[in-house]
Structure 1
Amino acid sequence: MSMIQVNELKKSFGSEAALRGISFEVGKGEIFGLLGPSGSGKTTTIKIMTGEFKPTNGDVNVNQFNFRQFGKNEYVGSLGILSDKSSLYDRLTVKDNLELFRKLYNAPKGSVEKVLKAVGLEDEMNKTVSKLSKGMKQRILLCKAVIHRPAILFLDEPTSALDPTTTERIHDMLEELRDDGTTILLTTHNMDEATRLCDNVAFLYQGVIQDSGSPSALRHKYKRNEVHLTYRDGTVKTTDRTEDNKAALENVLFNEDIVDVRTDFPTLGEVFKKVTGKELV
């Protein structure tokens, strides 16, 4: 079942085209990564899906709502959103902030404690938000986005400014939501994050999807049939993995001067660079 359907979506701001006709689908209970450098159209795509922008051309359907219906309360109530415009009430405590949104979305009692525990902030619930660090506020904003267990979750750089341990806890939370049926669309510059979390990704560059697929399939698609050999003295040699080199490669396993053997299996960031010629920053 498709929860997000985007067909030939275009968006222009005056004479500047931000999206030039992108198409993709996201299934129920899938984490989909929209990956690209700053200015590629990622945030514009999310803002169209959340009703902030209207498409210039094309069609968008989310959770069986067409983009013309994105202002309806039923649609808004089915979403969780973490974006650069997400905010909290600085003068209220963490608990009061989240209780406000729990009641607004009619989430069960105990939801506040549950989401705070998931991000490791259960001991901070009585702190005033203005006294929290940037990383803590980011975690509270995520709690706000997921407190009602939304059908669709839009995350724009969800783990920016977070330390590795907290990022790991956020990843665990997102995977739990995914396993419970929440559909997640996220943007990130962290390719390790995308490789771990995303069932499928799309490379968005200059308003066009350059390629898409699962992280594993894309990495295999762009790998070269090479083997990299590191010798004890630090020398690195590369050889083709071909039938002609079979005997030499078999001998590598018993060569004590070789300390590391690696095939050319590119990271997702390296694949993006191969596809676009640009670094993913």
Structure 2
Amino acid sequence: MIELKNVYKYYNNKKVVDDLSLTIEQGELFGFLGPNGAGKTTTIRMMIGLLKPTQGEIWVNGHNVLTEKKKVHTDIGVVFELPNLYVRSSIKKNLKLFGDLYGVSDSQVNKVMEDLQLSSQQDVKVGTLSKGWKQRVLIARAMLHKPKIVVLDEPTSGLDPNTAALIRNYIKELNKQGTTVILTTHDMHDADELSTRVGIMYNGKLAAIDKPENLKSKYCKKEVYIEYMKEDKLVKESLPMGTDETEKKIAQLMSDDKIVSMKKGENSLAEVFATITGRELS
């Protein structure tokens, strides 16, 4: 559905994207991760035709982003992190305006509002809405023309738990229906829960790409965490899994009835990211 071939982007002789080649298949829910300055946002903007690559080719659903922008824009819906809505107009008027640009029927506008639970507030001015409601309007606007690809930039950032859950479920349902979704996020819970495949950018390059479970298996430490009593004091310790020393120690502690608790380390994409880049995503 999306293909980047040997893409470079320079700003004032600084290489921001460095020989990036990437394929995103139809129906994927692709998590695109990277710290600030990694080249992730620049790559997304080149994908949707807002920036021109210095070198390389980008294809979206078989269309060249440079020479067939109108066809590309027909296939893509985009939600940026910062809201860009008409704040003095109502929810419905915002959606109707963009629906008219795409030749979308009123029934489709109403359906999208229902899907994102906006109908009850459709006549409320956008400027009075909370961040969560504005985010739902942005997603609704991006979905009006039934795009084949949706790009979501930090879709649940700063939202209350209920609204975040609503948006996550909506994203999952979109993907089940065959929509290709590209998700950029600093929220490792979102990336882990939603993504069928994850790409991590670092210093302008694609540092790793795979299914989340494969990345965790490759990069995360395999440890067991134990709590045990020693001289009437509680000791907490992490031990490498699968070694003779660990097995002997645990066996001895169990034999002496010293173990208070024991659990396997919970591997996460946050640990993967920290291992690859040397720092936390946030």
Contact 2:3 2:23 in 1 (8 A): yes
Structure 2 gap segments, 5+ residues each: none
1:270 pairs with 2:268? no
Deviations, residues 128-151 of structure 1 (Å, cap 9, x unaligned)? 112112332122111111122210
Q: What TM-score results when the alignment is normalised by the length of structure 1? A: 0.90
> Where does structure 1 lack aligned partners over 5 or more consecutive residues?
none
1:257 Cα shift?
4.7
Q: Is the 1:222–1:266 contact (alpha carbons within 8 Å) kept by the matching residues of 2?
A: no
Q: Assess, with a 3 A threshold, how the Cα gap between structure 1 residues 247 and 5 changes in structure 2: closer, same or farther.
A: same
**8 Å Cα contact 2:132-2:163 kept in structure 1:** no
Question: Which amino acid counterpart does residue 93 of structure 1 have in structure 2?
Answer: S
1:239 aligns with 239
Is 1:92 matched up with 2:89? Answer: yes
Secondary structure of 2:66's counterpart equals: helix
- Per the TM alignment, residue 85 of structure 1 is displaced from its structure 2 partner at its CA by 6.1
Instruction: State, as a whole percentage, how many aligned pairs show the same letter.
Output: 36
Higher mean alpha-carbon deviation, 157-166 vs 259-268, is at 259-268
Partner of 1:113: 110
Q: Alpha-carbon deviation of 1:98? A: 1.0
- Residues 179 and 192 of structure 1, relative CA distance in 2, 3 Å threshold: same
Contact between 1:94 and 1:124, CA under 8 Å: does it hold in 2? Answer: yes
In the superposition, the TM-score normalised over structure 2's length comes to: 0.90
What SS class does the counterpart of residue 167 from structure 1 fall into?
A: helix
Amino acid at match of 2:238: T
Distance in 1 of aligned mates of 2:121 and 2:254: 54
Contact 2:77/2:151 (8 A) holds in 1: yes
Instruction: Quickly say closer, same or farther: Cα 1:132–1:243, change in 2 above 3 A.
Output: closer
Q: What is the distance in 1 between the residues matched to 2:65 and 2:6? A: 13
Q: Matches of 1:95 and 1:153 in 2, distance apart?
A: 21
Counterpart among 17, 26, 29 of residue 28 in structure 1: 26
Counterpart amino acid of residue 262 in structure 2: V
Report the more deviating stretch, 211-220 or 246-255.
246-255
Cα distance in 2 for partners of 1:134, 1:87 equals 12
Distance 1:6 1:243, change over 3 A: same
Q: Corresponding residue for 1:212?
A: 209
Instruction: Provide Cα deviations, 1:196-248, integer angstroms capped at 9, x if missing partner.
Output: 11111111111111111111110111133321112376521223333624465
Q: 2:121 aligns to what?
A: 124
Q: Which amino acid aligns with 1:29?
A: G
Structure 1 vs Structure 2 CA RMSD: 2.2
Matches within 5 A, 1:43-58: 43-58=41-56
In structure 2, the CA distance between the partners of 1:274 and 1:113, relative to structure 1 (3 Å rule), is same
Residues 243/188 of structure 1: CA separation in 2 closer, same or farther (3 Å cut): closer
Superposed, which structure 2 residues align to 1:1-281 within 5 Å?
3-72=1-70, 74-84=71-81, 87-231=84-228, 234-242=234-242, 244=244, 245-246=246-247, 248-249=249-250, 257-281=258-282
